[in-house]
Structure 1
Amino acid sequence: MRTPALLVDKQVALKNIQVMQEKVDQKNHILLRPHIKTHKTPEFAIKQNQLGKSGITCAKLSEAEVMIQHGVRDIFLAYPLVDREKIRHSLRLAEQIDRWIYSIDTYEGAQLLSEEAVEAGRLAEVRVEIDTGLFRSGLALEEAVDAIDRFNKLPGLQITGIYTYRGSKARTGEVVKDTFHAGVEEAGLMVDLAEKLREQGLPIKDISVGSTPTLEGVLAVEGITEVRPGTYIFNDAMQVAYGVCSIEECAAAVLVTIVSIHGDRAVVDGGSKSFATDVQPTGGIVPINGFGIVKGHPAIVFERMNEEHGVLQLNGESLAIGETLEIIPNHICSTVNLYDYYYFRDGEQVAVSARGKTQ
């Protein structure tokens, strides 16, 4: 096989799907709506749907379109649309499936969606995004009740829920090692907000939370209705660092070839065009050593990279030019997006159909 190449152990991925579904099914009244941002392939999305029967989550309109083309019929677009053409496009897509859920977090965005839904003669189901500590999109908790009351007065919108994504962050925005308690806090904040909204007469039915690292914590909180992890299907070095999974539960790795060795330094044919660089090595509270885990070689550190070169510190290990290595990347979601295909270990080639769908 030519390198660099993205390898996926299908059996490990399918087991990860099954284990996650069983974990969620143990909790009454909680649904699993997996985020497809990790695998970006309809084949796995359909498998997840067959087990959970609760739809999928997408971040981009173009991702959702790919999934619809392959038969997915229940989609939550967890990203605000503030462009009229995109909203009109989404309304056309929504007509093709059973359920389409929008996201809003500003009055301006809500007003645009309202106007276009009314024009199209549609009632748009909406969830409002809440910021619980990641500090990107989402209403602050302090403003949420008044803001959602305003949104609810707009025609053409049916506000059915609230949602958040915080990942492994505390409410201060800092990375935390105790992801269980981060999840408990995340879910607790949302349940409390939902109660306040209901007291004001706002019809909040769905409380959607959770990520792969915080899932155990959010499942421990009564009142949530849905979780949206994504990374769990493949896992990565970041999840290993958090203690969320073992190396053996990492289903995906990048296969590279050693092209050069000089002393204790080896160079492989995978650099920043082959590995995501958005999760940097860190010596912080959750130490991530290098840009990935070199499977079978715990002493080796993937210390730096250029576009086409990955530089490994061998730390005394003996390797040979031409030898191949498997490296579990720090962040698998962004890494998958660099590849047109991945390969199962039996050689089957699978198209990453939603790759590069950024609009």
Structure 2
Amino acid sequence: MDTPVVVINKTKLIKNINKMSRVAKENQVMLRPHIKTHKIPYIAMEQLKAGAIGITAAKVTEAEVMANHGVDDIFIAYPLVTEQKIQKAIDLSKRVRLILGVDSLKGAQRISGLAKQNNVIMEVRLEVDLGLKRTGIPYDDVLQIAKEVSTYENLNISGIYTFRGPVLNGSPTLDFDEAGIDEGQKMVALAERLREVGLPIRDVSVGSTSTSSSAATVSGVTEIRPGTYVFYDAMQERYGCCTEEECAAVVQVTVISRPTKDRAIIDGGSKTFATDVQPNQPPIYLNGFGKVVGHPNITFERVTEEHGMLHIEGDTSINVGDILEIIPNHICTTINLHNNVFIRDEEDQYNLFTVEARGKLQ
């Protein structure tokens, strides 16, 4: 293996998969993990083997990759509004169970129209904004929108879903138990309101890696959709969702320069490590762009395209040519920068896997 390269510890990976599966089973909810984290069919199949009922994806092209490798129950948790994407989704729905996300009347109208042209019934869920202020119907508007969408032909509203993450009362929080329970309770209450007006809402889908364990305890929640838990990362460790030992994926890099006593340069920059989770930002104030394993006195403080700059406090034995392991701040977007990864198995064998669904933009 040459560096920079992502290396995944299979033992830790499987433990993480089984851990979240137990959360779902103990709370009698369905687990539908988001494959945005790994984008690798092999890992998706391991999640299904452990009890997941299906997967979540963000793109039709991601869903197509997973379907081509045997996944037959897929939720695209992203509003599709262009004719091209909707038609591709309809075509895919003829091969697998496919659920689409809707957060606008316009999007629902377009899905309805194309579904009617193709003589199919499309299963949809309404996306609800619980405070992340991204996509999703504002909470107080869902009832009105749902009533309208329910009149559209060739659509079956089977559920509601949200992604709020570690947010509570509109602000980032580290109280994941309260955030998850609040998320679950609000969605269950909304589902009840929709049922009272005659909408047969079956699925109440919630949860992120940080909130799934608590949201799953709320009676009436039917499904959780965590993603990062398969690998975890420096952000999740700082959140308290995992320990460093549970982080299953690292980026191996080589020290290519030691120009001064307090600085080392590695062969991984912004083309290797995601920089969407910046250091020193509330509420967790990460120290650098990743955690250098085994070297608490080293901060991964700066990146350019091809270079990573490490700041060294005190003495260190690292030198030019040494290999370091770094746990990225955000593993999901880091994986998407790599064509391939290696999975190290229990016998210390390194097996190459293509990140089949990386770079899927449509």
Mapped pair 1:93 → 2:104: no
How far off its partner does 1:284 sit?
2.4
How far off its partner does 1:53 sit?
4.6
* 1:92 maps to amino acid: D
| Rounded Cα–Cα distance in structure 2 between residues aligned with 1:279 and 1:353 | 24
Aligned ranges for residues 75-86 of structure 1 at < 5 Å? 75-86=74-85
Contact 2:216 2:223 (C-alpha < 8 Å) held by counterparts: no
Mapped pair 1:215 → 2:212: yes
Which residue of 2 is the match for residue 350 of structure 1? 353
| Rounded Cα–Cα distance in structure 1 between residues aligned with 2:313 and 2:52 | 48
Which residue of 1 is the match for residue 138 of structure 2? 140
Contact 1:59 1:78 (C-alpha < 8 Å) held by counterparts: yes
Instruction: Tell me the alpha carbon deviations over residues 292-319 of structure 1, each in whole angstroms, 9 at most, x when there is no partner.
Output: 1110111211111000110111111312
SS in 1 for 2:167: coil
Which residue of 2 is the match for residue 247 of structure 1? 244
Aligned ranges for residues 1-359 of structure 1 at < 5 Å? 1-28=1-28, 30-97=29-96, 99-172=97-170, 174-261=171-258, 262-318=260-316, 319-345=318-344, 346-359=349-362
| Rounded Cα–Cα distance in structure 2 between residues aligned with 1:69 and 1:75 | 12
* 2:332 maps to amino acid: C
* 1:10 maps to amino acid: K
TM-score by length of 2: 0.97
SS in 2 for 1:78: strand
Contact 1:176 1:286 (C-alpha < 8 Å) held by counterparts: no
* Structure 1 ranges of 4+ moved more than 6 A: none
How far off its partner does 1:170 sit?
2.0
Instruction: Tell me the alpha carbon deviations over residues 191-249 of structure 1, each in whole angstroms, 9 at most, x when there is no partner.
Output: 11111111111111100000001112202211100000000000000100100000010
Q: Which runs of 5+ in 1 are unaligned?
A: none
Contact 1:33 1:52 (C-alpha < 8 Å) held by counterparts: no
User: In 2 relative to 1, CA 256–83 (structure 1 residues): closer, same or farther, beyond 3 Å?
Assistant: same
Contact 2:123 2:157 (C-alpha < 8 Å) held by counterparts: yes
SS in 1 for 2:90: helix
Contact 2:33 2:52 (C-alpha < 8 Å) held by counterparts: no
TM-score by length of 1: 0.97
Instruction: Tell me the alpha carbon deviations over residues 162-187 of structure 1, each in whole angstroms, 9 at most, x when there is no partner.
Output: 00001112231x22111121111111
How far off its partner does 1:283 sit?
4.7
How far off its partner does 1:19 sit?
1.1
Quick one: percent identity of the two aligned structures? 48
Q: Which runs of 5+ in 2 are unaligned?
A: none
CA RMSD of aligned residues (A): 1.0
